[in-house]
Every structure is written in structure tokens, then in C-alpha cells.
Amino acid sequence: MELIKLSGILIVIIGFALKKDNILIILTAAIVTALVGGLGIVGLLETLGTSFVANRSMTIFILIMLVTGTLERNGLKEAAAKLIGKVKGASAGAVVGAYGIMRGIFAAFNVSFGGVAGFVRPIIMPMAVGAIEAKGDEPNEEHVEQLKGMASGMENVAWFFCQVLFVGGAGGLLVQSTLASLGYKVELLDLARVEIPVGIFAIVISIIYYYLKDKKLSKKYYNKK
Amino acid sequence: MSFFTSVDITLGEKLLEIIYIVIGLITIYTGVKNARDKENPARVGTAVFWCSLGIVIAFGRWIPPIANGVLIIIMTIPAIFRKVKIGKQETPDPEFTKKMSEKLGMKIFIPALSIGVFAIIFAIFTKLGALVGVGVGIVASVIILMLFSKENKPQVFLKDSERLLSTVGPLSMLPMLLASLGAVFTMAGVGDVIAGLVGGIIPKGNVNVGIIVFAIGMMLFTMIMGNAFAAITVMTVGIGGPFVLAYGADPVMIGMLALTCGYCGTLCTPMAANFNVVPVAMLDMKDRFGVIKNQVVLALILLVFQISYMIIFK
């Protein structure tokens, strides 16, 4: 009857897959696991309390918010738009690639410009479409649709794989605490360091992939010799 | 007070505790501000959530574990009943932002990057740790912003952090709650049960097979759950620990890369709606899977790269 201890895991998997309230899922899984695992309610509350206090480092993002909003107020996004605007005479695919480099470098410092809603839609997409027009072509609808997908993809890849380079980011902190509960003590700096090759590879491979894909689509839709 | 005067506790720990008190106070401020905000549709729930969280963050060290546990449960109740809401918010005045952007230009990147720079400097050159570096970087950033403009007063920073914290809301506590769930799993012996089950499938002692199963498992679990943070706690306890780390593989490399293997799953699943579905709507795309289709190839290449990297450098 050891298997019953896994009911908490089952609750998490099914709960997230069915898009139930995330906090409710976690709480239910914790209560069920504590009861079937013999911790009891007191054990549950003590484990919860101890672990929460031990993991307070994960709330560092609240301290960072102390400046994030004010940076935005003082023109951070506008400066980023000016910076990417320096890319001139590039193809649409190269615009997406240039954004990837910028997004990746700033992600490593935990600096964001507003994601798809705040930056890709108002700044990157007009630049990419402008790049097609600059070559004297009428932007093809299907090509623009693909560029939207590529720009969002670049946004996601750069953010996911470069934000782990920030020492003190949520990912590293969660890994640190998960390993600590298994008895392995690791440093945040080392966790960030092992991701450097992954971050660089992710940016480079995405740029190559999207550049080539855009080139192929341009040939197909505008048929330039 | 004895904590701060004790010689047995390192300066880094003391400074970190001060940082937690500041974070806790910002959180409590968020609760109090919303409690008094007539425009907030759920004043009580919002206040209960942020205040109980703030108390645990700021003073948790001095509160008995069981009382902290009770406070956490109290905190989750308004969140589950969706009674944590956003009140009146002062969004940045576009005129001011335009004026500042013209005045500062690229100089705004100095306070923006200072946090990360200080974190790295402190992690490498001091014994105080990266998080104290983050704290110092924020102080530096605040000072620079105040020098930039007289209008960046202390209450502006406080109000802006309240605005952002209220916007992200209770879901920002997900990583912490998942970490606590992981602790409950470990205490209840969940890892041993999975290890027993999977032991029949994975040959014991073959670290490379363990790494491949762990990496692919992270990707698949993340695709099902839509959240790599949820997957990593379960998978590390069940697979990573007993089948990879127990045989001497480097916990730094395996533990961390498992998370980014999970991110490969995030790139491939509509379950991660924020990243893959919301952009489709925001960019008026026709194909609901238009973002995912542009990510699948990259995700698979990155997974293979990371598995090879782990096997070579474990």
C-alpha cells in the first residue's frame, strides 16, 4: 500500500492538466500527502512553516519590484526601443534575431521590457514588417503570420534560457531548495554558471533557425532572383 | 535582537535577514494599502493574503514553525476563493515617461543593470552571498534613480512596487508553495516509493540512462502540467535524486539543467498559456498553435544539446 503515498503527485498532475486553481491543487496535494504519509496535520503545518521560512529567498523578486516599476516610469522601455531601432537595413529574420540577442543579454540581468504585449507587438513586429517593405515588397500575410510566431518564439527562448543566468532568479532558487531537501547544498552562482553554455547555444541556434526560415519564406513569397 | 548581536551568525545571514524584513514590510504595506482602498472589490481577502505573507517573510525566523504553517494556510484561503484583487493603481504618466526618456536616453540602463552586476560581484568576491548583492544593487539603483530626477521620491518606489506586486498577485507565490510541497513529499517518503517503482524499469547504477530519463521526463511532465516549476520538485525527488545524483553525478549540473530541460517542454505545450496561447491572441494570429509550431524544432535541439552536455560533464 506504499503506492497511496503517490496520490499527492497524481493530484498535482491531474490538477494542473485540468487547469484547476494552482494554489488549491498544491494545498490539496500537500494535505493528502501529509495524511497518507503519516505526517498528520501537525507535521504538515510544521513542514509547511519550516520550508516556507527556509525558502524566503524566493521572495527576493518583491525587493526587485521596488525599482522595476520606477525604471519603467523613467523610460526603460523607450530606451530599449531606441536601442533595437539602431538595427537598420536588416531582413525581417535578422530583426527577430537582433531582438533575441538584446532580450537574452538583458534577461541575464533580470531586466524585461514587457514581453509580447509590451514590446514585441508595438516595437518588434512593426520593425520586422518595415524590413520587408524596405526591400520593396508587399508584406505577404502568411509570411507576417510566421514572423509573429518567430518573434514570440525568440521572446520565449531568450527569456527562458537566459533568465537562468541571473544569480538570484526564481529558477535557481527553486532548484537550490529542492536539492537542499534531498541533502545537497549548492550555490546560486554555480547554478547560473552551468547554464552559460545552454543560454548562449539557445540564442545562437534560435537566430540561425529563424534567419534561415525567414530567408526560405521570403524566397517563396516574393520570388526574388 | 540577540540574532543581530550574536557572533555565531555571519554578517551575510544578518544582512539577508534585514532584506527579508524589508521585503516583508513591502508585502504588509501592500496588504494595508489595499485594506484602506475603497476601489478594491475584495479589501479583506486582499489584506489577509498580503499581511499574513508579509508577517511570515519579515518575522518568520522568530515565529514557531507550526504558527508559520497556520499563517501560510490562512494566506492561501483568500487566494483559493479568488478574493485577492487589485485596487486603485497609479500607472506611470506617459508625459513624465516621455520627458524622462528624452532626458536620460540609454543612461536608464545603468540602474537597470546594477542589480545583476552587484549580485555577480557579491557572489564572486565576498562571503555575503548573491542575494545580499541583489539587495545592495537595489539600493544603488534607487539612489541613481533619485539622482536622475527629484520626482523619484521614496513613496514613488513603494507605490510602484505595490502596483507590480498586486498585478502579479497570489500566483507569484507558486514557486514557494511548490518548494514547500516538495518538502512535504520528501518528508512523507514519496521519493522512495517512486524510486522503488521506476527501479524496475531503469537499470540501477546506469547514470547515463538515468540522465536521459530525467531530462525527457522533465520535458514531458512540464508539457502535461504546463509548468516546469511544478515538474521539477516532483521529478527531482522521484527520478533525479535516486537514479542520477545517488550515483555521484554533479548535483549543480543535473539539478539545474533538469529545469531548463523542463523549459523545452514549456515551449511545446498549450498548457503554458501565458507563453504560447496569450501571444497568439495578442498578435492576432490565425493559427492557434502558431507560436508552438515555431518553437518545437528548437525545443528538441535544445533537449538533445542539454542531455549531451549533462552526460559529458556530469
pLDDT at A4: 87
What average pLDDT does the segment B261-265 reach? 97
Percent of chain B past pLDDT 70, that is, above it, reads: 100
Q: A-contacting residues of B 70-99, CB under 8 Å?
A: 70-73, 76, 79-80, 82, 92, 96-98
Across the range B183-197, mean pLDDT stands at: 80
pLDDT of A3 reads 84
Whether residue B227 has pLDDT greater than 90: no
Of residues A21, A150, A172, nearest to B256 (C-beta): A172
Banded model confidence at residue B135, pLDDT cuts 50, 70, 90: very high
Q: Quick: pLDDT tens for A101-115.
A: 999 999 999 888 888
Higher local confidence (pLDDT), B199 or B223 = B223
User: Percentage of chain A surpassing pLDDT 70?
Assistant: 98
Phi and psi angles of residue B249, each rounded to the nearest 5 degrees, phi first = -70, 155
Confidence of residue A215 (pLDDT cuts 50, 70, 90): very high
Phi, psi of B150 (to 5 degrees): -65, -20
pLDDT at A1: 59
How much is the mean pLDDT over chain A?
90
pLDDT higher than 70, residue B1: no
In B, minimum Cα distance to A153 occurs at B295
Contacts of A99 in chain B (CB under 8 A): none
DSSP A113: -
The reply to whether residue B184 touches residue A62, judged by beta carbons under 8 angstroms, is no
Torsion-angle region of B206 (φ positive above 0: left; ψ -120 to 50: alpha; else: beta):
beta
Candidates B104, B134, B103, B101; CA nearest to B118 is B134
Which range among A12-26, A93-107, B115-129, B272-286 has the greatest average pLDDT? A93-107
User: What is the pLDDT at residue A224?
Assistant: 57
Question: Which of A3, A62, A181 is the closest to B182 by Cβ?
Answer: A181
Q: Which of B57, B160, B113 is nearest to A59 (CA)?
A: B57
Q: Scanning the structure block, which residue is given the C-alpha cell 515588397?
A: A137
- Say yes or no for a CB contact (<8 Å) between A5 and B188: yes
- What is the C-alpha R_g of chain B? 23
A99-111 per-residue burial string, b: 16 or more CB within 10 A, e: under 16: bbbbbbbbbbbbb
Structure-block grid coordinates of residue B165 = 506586486
Cβ neighbours of A194 in B, within 8 Å: 252-253, 256-257
pLDDT value, residue A35: 93
pLDDT category at A17 given cuts 50, 70, 90 is confident
Q: Average per-residue pLDDT in chain B?
A: 90
Distance from CA of B38 to the nearest CA of A (A): 23
CB contacts, 8 Å: A181 with chain B? 179, 182-183, 186, 237
